[in-house]
Structures are given as structure tokens and as C-alpha cells.
Structure 1
């Protein structure tokens, strides 16, 4: 009987461990707390996370390798084909000669001077396009009467290429910097303007209804709902405009300019300095690529919230 009573008593009396587990207020030893924290950290950065990181790094390495192979193949063809006279080296010199010409232009300071002149024009037109096109696009996208009024003009001029209007800009504004910056402004304004209008009109109507149901006034609604929702689309237009600012720049600098990469290319062509011509082409291509990559990174930064 005593043993049965003792067993029953033991069954009715919880152990110290079960008491500690059933009472959250029981003190937890520091060693146990540190062990749990360490296990949690190891779980966060365990084999699964490491494997995902390795896979991501491998994919990035493969992508970089493919791009490197493509560039190396192009460079090899450029070097070999003229030397084998598969193409006329008079009009397409080997890449090594172009690199030597590029280095000579850099050492003489001419390349930096021409690059600086081109960047000033390109960035000036690009910045002015942002200042003009974004506010105008927000107004047109937000106010339907204004959109109906300006829509015929937008449809007319959006289909008119900037380079087709270059003679008009030169005739009206002359051969100076004003005409060059203005034609870049015109070319850059359209992608920004049209994407801004599309961004405002593409805001989810449910967001607008929800904001209005909360009593937001039109100005507050525009600031808190419309503008943030339109930012990613607006920045897409800004990135496209950055590419246009480089493309139109070359043609603008071929008319009446005394400095700039477009002028360098045109001058080298007329004086039959073919390696210098290709050196200018490579430089403006690298500038365009760098500018585009910068804008792509900024676009991703501004668009991360949309995918979260």
C-alpha cells in the first residue's frame, strides 16, 4: 500500500522540470539562453541558406562569364579580321590600333576635353527634361480636362523624331549650345512625359477609393497615394531618357560644334583618322553603358517596394 501511495503521489506531483516548463516566469539560466540564441543563429544561416547563396553566386558568375565571353569574342574578331584582310583595314583597323589611338587621345588631354563637353550638354538636356516633363506629366495624368486638351498635340509631336527637328532647332536657336541642349531636352522629355502620364493613370482605383473613403482631400490624396504609386513607372521613363540623351548627343554635336565626342567622331572621319573615329565611338558607347547601368540601379532602388 505504501508503494502504491508513493506511486500515486509521484504521479500527482509534477516534476521540477515540468514545473519549470509550465511556468513561463521560471528563471532561465544564462547558459541555456545563450545556447538557444546560438542555435537560432545557426538555423538562420544553416545549410539551406548557404546553399541558396552558393546557387545565387553561381548564377551570377555564369551570367558574368557569358557577357565576358561575348565581349572577348567581339574583340578577337575585331583584331583578327582586319589582319587577315577579311575586311579592309583602311576602314576597320585592328582593335589594337584603335586602343593605341584612344590612349594617345587620353594622354594629350583631347579625349577628356571632348568627353567633358559632351557630358555637360547631355546632363543639361537630361536634367531640364526631368524638371519639365515630370510636373507636366503629373498634371496631364491627374486632370482629365487638361489631358483632353493636350492629347492631339501629344500624339502629333510624340511621333516626330528628334533628329528630324534638328535643322529646325538650328535655324531657330543657332549653332550654339542652346540648340544642342534643346534638342537633347526634346528627345529626353517624351519618354519621361509619357511614362509619367501612364504611371498616374495606372494607379489602382481601389487605392484611390480607399483614400477618399478615409476623407483625404485631393491634394493630400495626390501626395500620399498617386505620387508614390507612380514613381516606378516615372523612373522607367527617366532611364529611357538617359539613353536618348547619349544617342541624340552625337548627332547634335556633328552640327556646328567645336568640341564633344560627336565632333571628335565627325572630325576624325573627314580627316580620315579612322582609329581616332573608332576611339570616339567606343568612348561614347562606354559612357552610354555606364549611364544606363547607373539609372538601372537607381530604378531598382525606387521600385523595390512595388515587388515587396
Structure 2
């Protein structure tokens, strides 16, 4: 807070003080605008995140478990991974319109690419000794996959989900800056036009708080699901 105050004192662009940002936040909360924008952005993030993770996990398992599937799918995944999801936004808007579909699609793409690579890496990183030991004990592929591969891959999957969550928030803000009528990114764009820096700060802080809260939830889930794993 002290650093913020010092930055305001020496700023040449008229940065808002913490008190001004707090006052603006209270105004936006009372008017209901902040809540409406928060719900709009959060719903897009959750939809794209859920779709991305739901598809990425089975595809990642498929790539990691079957070499043939890996050879067919991995080149396409790596190709699209090299293309920033933000670069797809103009194409998505042209082909899908300016509704919710293109926004959710680019979020889905960002999350899918992060999660599928993490899942794939988790599968191929499983200790082969564990797999061979299970086979010696008479376990079939289905049992090995369920009792060995999935538990061992879970930490990788959850890390991919956390990375995908960050990508989702970055992508939704960019999408709302380009084509939206609501959302925290849209509100920042409108505030920029009127040089309303306090509103921009409120939106940025809101995004940070939401993102941090969601990341903490994923971290708690990771701790619960991987309690068997040795930690530093």
C-alpha cells in the first residue's frame, strides 16, 4: 500500500490513490455493475475451463497410452500450441459471430492445450517399474490404467489445470476487450476511453482476487487428491 501511495505521488499520468480505487469499487458494487461484469466474465471462464479440461484429460490419456494415437494427435496439438490463443480471437469472431460462442471457444482452446500436454506428460512419466510390476501380478490393461496410470498422472493433470486457469483469465479479458458488451475486460476498455483509471484498477484487482481464489481451490484439490505424494 505504501508503494502504491509512493507511485501515485511520483506518477505523471495521474494514477488513482488506494482511497479513490476503494471509493470507485464501492460505487460499482452499489450500482450492481461490478457484480454483473464479474458474473459475465466468470461464467465465460468457467464454461471454457470446464470444456477444455473435460476434453483434454481423455485426449491426453489417449496420446500417452497408445503410441499410434500419439503419432496422429500430438503434431496437431503441438502445432496449435505454438499459436497464441489471443491470435485466434479475430478468426473466432468472424466465423462464430460476436456472441458468447467465440469467447468461450478461445478460452476452451487455451485451457485444452495446457491441460492436454500436462496429462500426456503425466502418462508418459509414470514409472515403468510400477506398470511392469502390475503386469507380473496379473493386472490387465484396464486395471493398470485405473490403479496406476490415473493416480500417478493426477499431479500433472492438476498442474495443467492451474496453468490453464491462468490462460483462461488472460484470454477472456482479451476477448472482452475486442468484442463484448459486458465483463471485466469490457469495463476496462470503456474506462480507458474516459480515462477512468480507478475503474481499470477495480477490474484488475477483481480479476486478481477471482483468479487467486480459484487457484487456491485447485491447490486444495491437488493436496487432497495427491496426499500420498512426498512434498518439500
Normalised-by-shorter TM-score class: over 0.9
- C-alpha distance after superposition, 1:231-290 (max 9, x if no partner): 111111111111111111110111221111011111111122221121111111111111
Q: Does the 8 Å CA contact 2:28/2:34 hold for their aligned counterparts?
A: yes
- C-alpha distance after superposition, 1:140-164 (max 9, x if no partner): 1100011012222122111111111
Q: 2:82 aligns with which of 124, 136, 159?
A: 159
Q: Does the 8 Å CA contact 1:239/1:299 hold for their aligned counterparts?
A: no
The size of the alignment, in residue pairs, is 231
Q: Does the 8 Å CA contact 2:77/2:113 hold for their aligned counterparts?
A: no
Q: Give 1:188's aligned residue.
A: 111
Higher mean alpha-carbon deviation, 164-173 vs 110-119, is at 164-173
Q: 2:138 aligns with which of 190, 206, 215?
A: 215
- C-alpha distance after superposition, 1:55-81 (max 9, x if no partner): xxxxxxxxxxxxxxxxxxxx2122244
- C-alpha distance after superposition, 1:61-113 (max 9, x if no partner): xxxxxxxxxxxxxx21222442x3x11253x1212111111111011110011
State how far apart, in whole Å, the 1-side matches of 2:12 and 2:34 are.
26
> Superposed, which structure 2 residues align to 1:244-259 within 5 Å?
244-259=167-182
TM-score (norm 1): 0.72
- Give the gaps of 5 or more residues in structure 1: 1-74
- Give the gaps of 5 or more residues in structure 2: none
Q: Give 1:232's aligned residue.
A: 155
Q: Give 2:123's aligned residue.
A: 200
Q: Give 2:2's aligned residue.
A: 76
Q: Give 1:146's aligned residue.
A: 69
Q: Give 2:11's aligned residue.
A: 87
Q: Give 1:177's aligned residue.
A: 100
Q: Give 1:294's aligned residue.
A: 217
State how far apart, in whole Å, the 1-side matches of 2:7 and 2:230 are.
47
State how far apart, in whole Å, the 2-side matches of 1:191 and 1:294 are.
18
State how far apart, in whole Å, the 1-side matches of 2:193 and 2:211 are.
24
Instruction: Give, in angstroms, the shift of residue 183 of structure 1.
Output: 0.4
- Aligned: 1:96 with 2:96: no
Classify the secondary structure of the residue corresponding to 1:190.
helix
Pair member with larger Rg? 1
Higher RCO structure, 1 or 2 (CA under 8 Å, sep 6+): 2
